[in-house]
Amino acid sequence: MTNDPQLVQELVDSGLPPKTHDRLGYCSVTAQEAKKLTGHEQEGWGVPYRDSDGKPYQHNGKDFYRLKPRGFKDGSPKYLSPAKAGCRPYFSPLFPEGYLGTGGNLFITEGEKKADCLNLNQVPTIGLSGIWCWKDQRSGDSQPIPELEAIDWKRDVYVVFDSDPTLKPQIQAALNELCTWLANQAGYSFCPKVVQLPCELNGDKNGADDFIVRHGLEALYRLVKFAQPSGEWLWD
């Protein structure tokens, strides 16, 4: 972990207290260090990606990292992955060991810090690096990533994206397609549901971490109770 004050504060703002930071493994990197980790020569923060057993994903013989460049500007990517590395699901170091084999409820969210925050609050969650990043191009075409295909989805699944899917058609489309795929993987015996986070009264957007910090875990569970099935298969 790093003592970078900006990184520490960003994690704290996402509901992740300093005592968890070493375990999470986020690191401040120079442009040269970032190039070695990700191929992108920009200073920022490196986020290590591991599987559900805590083993680092690999790409070209190196551990897989994503980079959050410092000084984000509108219109530029918030996070960068190594070229041609495709996508990986993000399993937080706080994800409960051995949980995938239990058949217990699973949550899916967008973003590493949101997944970390949910898992810290005993909500078993897999993170996606973007709303369409349950697919990638490693096989040459856009297919579900193999790490997700290996999971038994015959369980209750809740998708928690940011609070703006009703405002952005592309987010609603991604939700519907993801939920359709999840239902197909489960043989349509389970209905994936969407937890709709509200925006704040002043219009500020909420991610899962923002919502928990602002309103608490019980408020999130109340929204989970009202989660609704989603997916194109519902209208077939």
Residue among 215, 198, 209 nearest 15 (CA): 209
The average pLDDT across 206-217 equals 97
- In this prediction, residue 77 carries a pLDDT of 80
Does 20 have pLDDT greater than 50?
yes
Confidence of residue 156 (pLDDT cuts 50, 70, 90): very high
Quickly list DSSP for 64-117: -EEEEESS--TTS-SSB--TT-----EE-TTSPTTGGGGT--EEEEESHHHHHH
- In this prediction, residue 1 carries a pLDDT of 47
Please, are residues 19 and 8 in contact by the beta-carbon 8 Å criterion? Answer: no
- In this prediction, residue 21 carries a pLDDT of 95
Spatial separation of the C-alpha atoms in residues 45 and 48, rounded to whole Å: 10
Does 71 have pLDDT greater than 90?
no
